[in-house]
């Protein structure tokens, strides 16, 4: 009986799992945001060959299941390229790539949403393409993208749970272990679910705060 | 000097500019009149390099706008004010005005912003200097647009129907500023439908019709009964515009 009890130490274990999930989420978000943005800039400059390459890659990544990509990296890379990856490495590679693909799509549409007339004005005043990107397009594109981006990141947080299948002891894997030991699925999974929920809410909240700040210029302050 | 020689431009099958020759010398105010679709705005867009020429040549102080390297110099010497203002919506009035001086002329930011405030003050906008475009009226936005152009200390101002989107009262505000600039000797190419105003500030009037330059006359001659008015196309245009 004692072995199946839910103890306070199990809370510590769940917190550890939560830490792993959060660390993976943050790392892959930062890498994904960076790579996706670089791809979008490549497209903005219409760099020959590279543009087609990143567009095709993004298409592949966002139209196939993350789990399949994860298996491909974790089992496929060692078999095909004789390149061994640890579960954590496979998780970082796969989730970063997946986030990058969606960031790319959001960034491209955000860049294209900026009115042509202001870009013409900036060109006429002699700003270079890079200056226009940095001073005119990027600040507005960010305000435009922050909503979809927040939605994406909330989703990507949930997607991190997939890595539990290749043995990374994240929150879901920890839940699985505790579930098998305590045989109290309702309690364990309710706690795990609640933890994901709270994290997702925090991400959404941060996104909303940022959005409000980035959209300051569109808020009417007449009264 | 802005010089256009044999400028041709077409969009698909439509020929918009059909061999335009025009010179604008320093200190002149040249108004370009013509009905909608006559090619007035396209001519301005060719002068500032927003449209590629299909033929002919435009130079600004001998810098050819069709050559990428020279275009940068040409653009430093000219500044455009747009019909629909084209302000940067995420920047305040001051930031709108100071952006190009900081980025292109490499003016220190503090100095550029001080100059921007002085310019905004000169058009009666000192109280609105920190407002975003969405918080300004059309007339105020266009005054910011004018300041943004003046901040580059251009030799030539290109004005593309800058009062077309404004009501009469706001139009009067904006035209008042232009009259002042004209008195100060600013060189301007002024595409407009404001015939009477063009008459008061212009040194020359150019009339475009179907992409061709029909007349290029000193203002007094253009409006004289035995000058421009003797031409049926111009007489018809002027009587129509005055009725509206």
Q: What's the mean per-residue pLDDT of chain B?
A: 92
For residue B149, the model assigns a pLDDT of 95
Does some domain include residue A222?
Answer: no
Contact check, Cβ <8 Å, B99/A140: no
Q: Left, alpha or beta for A65 (phi > 0: left; psi -120 to 50: alpha)?
A: beta
pLDDT in tens, A43-63: 999 999 999 999 999 999 999
Q: Which domain holds residue A45?
A: 2-215
CATH number for the domain harbouring residue A13: 1.10.3720.10
For residue A2, the model assigns a pLDDT of 57
Q: How far apart are the first and last CA of chain B?
A: 34
Say if residue A40 is exposed, middle or buried (CB neighbours under 10 Å; 0-12, 13-18, 19+).
Answer: buried
Q: Which two tokens stand for residue A210?
A: 């940022």
For residue B86, the model assigns a pLDDT of 94
pLDDT in tens, A61-79: 999 999 999 999 999 888 8
How many Cβ pairs closer than 8 A exist between chain A and B? 67
Residue in A125, A140, A222 closest to B100 by CB: A125
* Chain A neighbors of B148, CB-CB under 8 A: 121, 125
Chain A interface disruption, residue of B48, B90, B131, most A CBs within 10 A: B90
Contact check, Cβ <8 Å, B86/A143: no
State the residue for tokens 């310019």: B119
Say if residue A95 is exposed, middle or buried (CB neighbours under 10 Å; 0-12, 13-18, 19+).
Answer: buried
A64: closest CA of chain B, how far (Å):
37
Is residue A204 over pLDDT 70?
yes
Q: Taking CA atoms, what residue in B is nearest to A140? A: B90
Put simply, whether A143 touches B (Cβ < 8 Å) is yes
Q: What is the spatial distance between Cα B92 and Cα B85, in angstroms, rounded to a whole number? A: 14
Q: Taking CA atoms, what residue in B is nearest to A130? A: B103
Contact check, Cβ <8 Å, B100/A127: yes
B13: closest CA of chain A, how far (Å):
24
Q: Taking CA atoms, what residue in B is nearest to A216? A: B90
For residue B243, the model assigns a pLDDT of 66
Residue in A120, A143, A222 closest to B86 by CB: A120
For residue B208, the model assigns a pLDDT of 93
Put simply, whether A131 touches B (Cβ < 8 Å) is yes
Q: Taking CA atoms, what residue in B is nearest to A221? A: B135
- What is the Cα B158 distance to its own chain's centre? 3
Does some domain include residue A220?
Answer: no
For residue B168, the model assigns a pLDDT of 86
Domain count for chain A: 1
Contact check, Cβ <8 Å, A121/B132: no
Q: Which phi and psi (to 5°) does residue B11 adopt?
A: -110, 105
Contact check, Cβ <8 Å, B89/A218: yes
pLDDT in tens, A93-134: 999 999 999 999 999 999 999 988 999 999 999 999 999 999
User: By the 8 A CB rule, do B58 and B3 touch?
Assistant: yes
Does some domain include residue A141?
Answer: yes
Q: Which two tokens stand for residue B48?
A: 């500032």
ipTM summary value:
0.89
For chain B, percent of residues with pLDDT exceeding 90: 69
For residue B244, the model assigns a pLDDT of 61
- Residue A1 banded pLDDT, cuts 50, 70, 90: very low
Complete domains list, chain B, with CATH: 2-81+155-243 (3.40.50.300)
- Sheet containing B78-81: order of strands: B78-81, B156-160, B187-191, B29-33, B204-209, B212-218
Residue in A120, A143, A218 closest to B134 by CB: A218
Contact check, Cβ <8 Å, A135/B103: yes
Q: How much is the average pLDDT of B36-42? A: 89
* Chain A neighbors of B96, CB-CB under 8 A: none
- Residue B224 banded pLDDT, cuts 50, 70, 90: confident
């Amino acid at each position: 009986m004692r072995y199946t009890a839910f103890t306070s130490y199990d809370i510590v274990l769940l917190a550890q799992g939560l830490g792993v999930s959060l660390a993976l989420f943050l790392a892959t978000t930062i890498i994904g945001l960076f790579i996706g943005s670089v791809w979008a800039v490549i497209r903005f400059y219409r760099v020959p060959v590279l543009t087609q390459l990143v567009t095709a890659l993004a298409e592949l990544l966002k139209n196939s299941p993350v789990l399949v990509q994860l298996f491909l990296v974790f089992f496929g890379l060692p078999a095909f390229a004789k390149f061994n990856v640890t579960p954590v490495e496979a998780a970082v590679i796969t989730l970063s790539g997946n986030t990058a693909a969606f960031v790319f799509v959001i960034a491209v549409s955000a860049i294209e949403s900026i009115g042509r007339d202001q870009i013409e004005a900036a060109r006429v005043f002699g700003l270079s393409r890079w200056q226009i990107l940095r001073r005119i397009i990027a600040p507005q594109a960010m305000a435009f993208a922050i909503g979809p981006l927040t939605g994406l990141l909330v989703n990507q947080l949930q997607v991190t749970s997939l890595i539990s299948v290749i043995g990374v002891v994240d929150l879901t894997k920890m839940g699985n272990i505790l579930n098998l030991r305590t045989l109290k699925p309702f309690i364990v999974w309710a706690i795990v679910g609640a933890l994901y929920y709270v994290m997702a809410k925090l991400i959404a909240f941060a996104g909303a705060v940022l959005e409000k700040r980035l959209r300051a210029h569109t808020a009417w302050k007449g009264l | 000097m802005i010089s256009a020689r044999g400028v041709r431009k077409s969009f698909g099958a439509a020929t918009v500019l059909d061999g335009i020759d025009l010179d604008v010398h320093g200190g002149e105010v040249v108004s370009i009149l013509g009905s909608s679709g006559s090619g007035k705005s396209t001519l301005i867009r060719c002068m500032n390099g927003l449209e590629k020429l299909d033929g002919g040549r435009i130079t600004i102080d001998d810098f050819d706008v069709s050559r990428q390297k020279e275009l940068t110099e040409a653009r430093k010497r000219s500044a455009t004010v747009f019909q629909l203002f084209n302000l940067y919506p995420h920047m305040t009035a001051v930031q709108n005005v100071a952006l190009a001086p900081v980025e292109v002329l490499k003016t220190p930011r503090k100095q550029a912003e001080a100059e921007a405030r002085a310019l905004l003050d000169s058009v009666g906008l000192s109280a609105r200097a920190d407002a975003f475009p969405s918080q300004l009226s059309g007339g105020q936005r266009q005054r910011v647009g004018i300041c943004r152009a003046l901040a580059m200390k251009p030799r030539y101002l290109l004005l593309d129907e800058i009062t077309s989107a404004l009501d009469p009262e706001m139009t009067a505000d904006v035209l008042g500023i232009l009259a002042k600039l004209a008195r100060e000797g600013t060189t301007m190419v002024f595409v407009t439908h404001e015939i009477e105003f063009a008459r008061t500030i212009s040194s020359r009037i150019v009339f475009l019709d179907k992409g061709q330059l029909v007349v290029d006359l000193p203002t007094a001659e253009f409006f004289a009964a035995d000058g421009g008015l003797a031409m049926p196309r111009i007489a018809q245009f002027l009587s129509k515009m005055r009725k509206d």
